[in-house]
A and B are shown apart, each in its own frame.
Chain A
Amino acid sequence: MGATPEIALPPAAVEELIQALAKGLRAHQLYLPNNPVYQRALETLRAAFKPIWEAGDELVLDVVEHEFRWEGSVVYSQPNRNESLAWVFFKDGVRSLTLLPGVEQDEIVGLLDVVHRARTLQPEDNDDLLTLLWEKDFQLIRYVFQDLASSEAGGMPIPSSDEVAVSAGQPRQVGYAVEEEAPTRAGVVRADDFDSTLYFLDEKEVAYLRDEVEREYATDLRRNVLAMLFDVLEQQPYPTVRAELISIFESFLPYLLGAGDFLAVAYVLREVRVVLQRAGELLPEQRKALEDLPGRLSQPEPLSQLLQSLDEAAAHPSADELGELFGELRTEALPTLLAWMPKLTNERVREVLEQALQRLAVANVPELINAVTGTDPMMALEAVKLAGRLRLKQVVAALSQVLGHEETAIRVAAVQALSNLTVPGALQALEKALDDPDRDVRLSTVRVMMQRKHKGALPKITAAVQGKSVREADLTEKMAFFEAYGSLVGEEGVAGLDAMLNAGGFLKRKEDPETRACAALALGKIASPAAREALERATGAKEALVRNAVSRALRGPGGELG
C-alpha cells in the first residue's frame, strides 16, 4: 500500500464481497450480459471491492471445504455443497485464492464464468476448475492448489541427488582416456560450421514463422483431419480399421451439421464417392455403408434438421457453401426439399435450394411426379410449380390429374405449369379447367388459351360467352373470356358479337353494358374490317363503359387489351 497507512478491514467487508460474488455468480448463470439485473449485480460486486483495496493491496482467501476464511475469520459458509461457492474451489484442490487490485474490472467476469462452468462439469468431463482457471490465464487472480491428481499418479522414480551421489561415489581415473580421446572427430557441430545467422532468426525467418502460426490458427482443422481419415480409409485394407473409420464418418456428419460446417459435410460426401472409386478390397458391407452415407443426409429427418437449422441460423453460410452441400443431395431428398421450400425465409437459402431441387427433379422425374400427385398439399404445390419452371413434358399427365385437386392454389399452379409446356397435350389437358368451379382457375386458364391461341378450347369458350355462366361472372373474368373468344374465333364471330354490341331497338333486348363492352373488346381482338365496322357503329353508345371499350378496341390490334 506504499506510504499510505493501511486501514483495518472489518471481516464484514469481506463477507459482503463474497456475498456479492455469490450473487454475481447467480446473475451470471441466469442472465445475459446485457441484462440490467446482471449488470447491477456486477456493479454491486465491483463496488464491494472498493473497501478491500482501500485497506490493502491483495485479498487472500483460504478455502476450507465449504468455507472461505480471511485472516482466520470465516467470511463465507455454505454447508450445502451444491450451493457452496467455496466447495467449487475446494473439491478440485484449490486451497487459497488471492485477488489483486483491478481484478474487478475484467477478470472477475472471467472468474464467474469459470466457476459457473466448473459447477456444471461432470466427473467424466475433460476439464475441472484448475484446467479452466489455467486457460483463462488470469493476471490478477492467483491460486494455490493441492495437486489431488498427482498423489495417485505414481510414476517413474527419479533419484534424488543424494542417492546419485552415493552411486557416483567411486572415483574413476579417466584422465588418460580423455587425453587419448581428445583429438576431435569429424562431424561434430561447431559454431564455425554455421553462419552467424544461426544465433538469431532473421526477419524473413521470423516472418515465415509468424505466417505459419497465423495459418495454423486460420486453417480448417476439421477439413484436414477429414482428409487424413479419408487417406487412411483409402490406403489401409484392414477391415476393422475401415469399419472404425466408417463409424467415425457416420457419427461425424451430425457433428459437422450441428457445427454448421456445411462445406465439410459436402467434402465428406464427395470424398466418400472418391473412396468408393479408388479404395481396393472394400468389403461389401463397408461399400454399402459408404454408399449409404450420402443417402442418410437426404433422408427426411436429417434433411429437415439441416433445413431447419439453416433457416434458423443467425449467420447463414455462403451460397457457395450451400451449393456445395446441396449438390451432394440425392433423389430421395426431393420430397423433403419440396416440403421445406415454402417454409424457408432466407432468400439465399431458397435460391440455392431451388438449384438443388431443379437438379434433383430433372435427374429423377418419377420422384417429382410422385410429389405432384402426392397427398401432402404443400409438397404438391411446390412440385407443380417446379415442374412448370422446368417445363418437364413427362409431367403433363400428373399435372392434368391435379387439375382436379381440391386445393385451388394447386389447381392454379397446375394451370400455370401446363401453360409453360409446349406440348399439345398440355393445352388439351387444360381445357377442362375452363369449367373449374373456381374463378381464379378459370381466369388463369382462359388467359392461357388466349395467349397460346389454343383453338381446341373454342367450343368451351364459345359456350361460355354465349351461355349464362360468363354473364354472371365478374367483369374481369367476363372480359377474359370475351377476349379469348375474339382471339380464337376469327371472322365468324363478328356477327354474334356485333349483335351483342349494337343490337337493340323495338322488341329487341339490349345486352347489359358490361357484356356490350366485352363484346367490343372481343371484336377488337378479331380486328377485321367487319369487326371494325361493328365497333364504329357503337362509338356513340350512351354508356361510358361501352364507349371506352369501343374506343380501346378501335385503337388497333393489341391496343384494346392494354
Chain B
Amino acid sequence: MRHLTQDELVLFYYHEEGGVDRRQAEEHLQSCDLCRQELASLGQGLEMIESLPVPERDESYGAQVWTRIRPRLAKEPERRWSFFFPIRTWALAGSSALLLALAFWAGRFWQQRQTPTVAAISAPARERILMVAVGDHLDRAQMLLVEVMNQEAEGSVDVSQTKQLAQDLVQSNRLYRQTALRDGMPEWPTSSTTWSAFC
C-alpha cells in the first residue's frame, strides 16, 4: 500500500470516514515507519494545543450567568404553536384588511364624485387653467436650470435628485404639449429635447 497522505492521516487520527479503509491503514501503519512517525508527530502537535489553558469557572458560574441574563429574557420564549395561532397577528391582519376595504370603497366613491366636475369646465376656463399650469411649469424649469448652472463643477456632485426632477419636468412637458396641440393652441416650445438631453 502507498503512504498515507496528510489528509488521510488527519481523518485516521480523528476516526473519520472518507479516507482510506481504517483496517488497511492500520496494517500499513504497522509496517511503515515513515507513516507511523508522521501520525505520531501529528498527534503530538495537536495534543500540544490541548495544553493551552482555559481559565476555570467554579460551580457558581451558572448562577452568575443566570443573574446577568435574566433581566434580558423576554417574559416568554417564542413558541412553536404560536406560529399557527398568532392571535395578535390575526387581529392586526383583520384590522389591516378592514382598513384596506374602507380605503378602496372611499376611493371609488371619491372618484365618482370628482369626474363630472372636470367635464363641466368650459373651454376658455380650461385654456386659462392650462396657461397658469404651463406658467408654473416653466417657472419650475427655469429654477432647475439655475440650480444646475450654479452647482459646483469640481469634485463629485450628487445630481440624482436634480435628474429625477428634470425627468418629471419632461413628463409634464409632454402632457402640456399634447393638451395644447389638442386644444389648437399655438406652437409649443421644443424644450423637451433639452430636458431629455439632461436626463
Q: Is this pair of chains taken from one and the same complex?
A: no
Residues of chain B whose beta carbon lies under 8 Å from any beta carbon of chain A? none
Residues of chain A whose beta carbon lies under 8 Å from any beta carbon of chain B? none
